[in-house]
Amino acid sequence: MKLKKIVSVLLVAACVFSLAACGSKKDSGESEDGGKADKLVMATNAEFPPYEYHEGDEIVGIDAEIAEAIAEELGMELEIEDMAFDSIIPAVTAGKADIGVAGMTVTEDRKESVDFSEPYATATQVVIVKEDSDIAGPDDLVGKKVGVQLGTTGDICASDIEDATVEQYNKGFEAVQALTQGKIDAVVIDGQPAKEFVKEAEGLKILDEAFTEEEYAIAIAKDNTELKDQINDALAKLKDSGKLDEIIGKYIKADAE
């Protein structure tokens, strides 16, 4: 009888101990399933400088740093998953990623699949052409061959242009290369990456007249209001402390260039 009691006490103790061990592991950002707990998984497409791009083995850029700062605020560890741009929202809705941070424009269409945080940046869609092009503004794109990155707002914009042929590329830079090679007449893409790509290429320019004004925000699964609130709180802190401006300023120099 006595022995039985001792055994059961020991068993209870062992259980409590293992629970405690589990708890403390979780707190340190690890868990038995290989470390999913306390990780903030960010889906992105690291082909979009200065927001996200490869530098050696690392993914760097404004979004990577903002997400890192948010993860720090939340006491979580950031993990970045690089994928095609049009896989980001499906990854978030399927729960494979917690957040989509990819210079992603808030659109009504996307809002049907995901929720968005408060915006953290504004952007425009611009037109890149060859320096000697006779295309002087968005209106001149009628009937032209226009390159875009698949599934982006540039893609949506271009498909509204009358009689234009839209060529979709997996990477924005590939569209710019096609333009350099004379395969297409123009590229419609976000303003900041446009500047980066034009800097790298030869004989290209960005037209002064922009297409649209947009806002970038972080995509979060629709049922995850807790995370959305946490992210908005963290973003507000980063805005108030000046950290957000500091990160953006590190990658985007005042409009002198």
Residues that bind ligand GLN (CB under 6 A): 45, 48, 85, 102-105, 149, 152-153, 190
Shortest Å distance, C-beta 23 to ligand GLN: 38
Cα angle 33, 34, 39 (rounded to 5 degrees) comes to 100
Among residues 96, 102, 104, the alpha carbon closest in space to that of 47 is found at 102
Q: How far is the CB of 26 from ligand GLN (least distance, A)?
A: 33
Shortest distance (Å) from residue 28 CB to ligand GLN: 33
**Smaller CB separation from ligand GLN, 62 or 247:** 62
Q: How far is the CB of 168 from ligand GLN (least distance, A)?
A: 12
Q: Of 51 and 144, which CB lies nearer to ligand GLN in the complex structure?
A: 51
Half-sphere exposure of 77 (CA within 13 A, CB side): 11
- Comparison of 153 and 203: residue with beta carbon closer to ligand GLN: 153
43, 100 contact by CB (below 8 A) = yes
By beta-carbon proximity to ligand GLN, the closer residue of 37 and 84 is 84
DSSP track, 51-79? TEEEETTEEESHHHHHHHHHHHHHT-EEE
Give the span between the Cα atoms of 239 and 227, in whole angstroms.
18
Please provide the distance, in angstroms rounded to a whole number, between the alpha carbons at the two ends of the chain: 85
- The nearer residue to ligand GLN, 64 or 104, going by C-beta atoms, is 104
> Distance of alpha carbon 211 from its chain centroid, rounded?
21
Q: Closer to ligand GLN at the Cβ: 150 or 231?
A: 150
Burial 219-228 (b: 16+ CB within 10 A, else e): bbbeebeebb
In angstroms, give the least distance from the CB of 111 to ligand GLN. Answer: 12
Q: Residue 112 has which token pair? A: 């049907």
- Least Å distance, CB 20 to ligand GLN, is 44
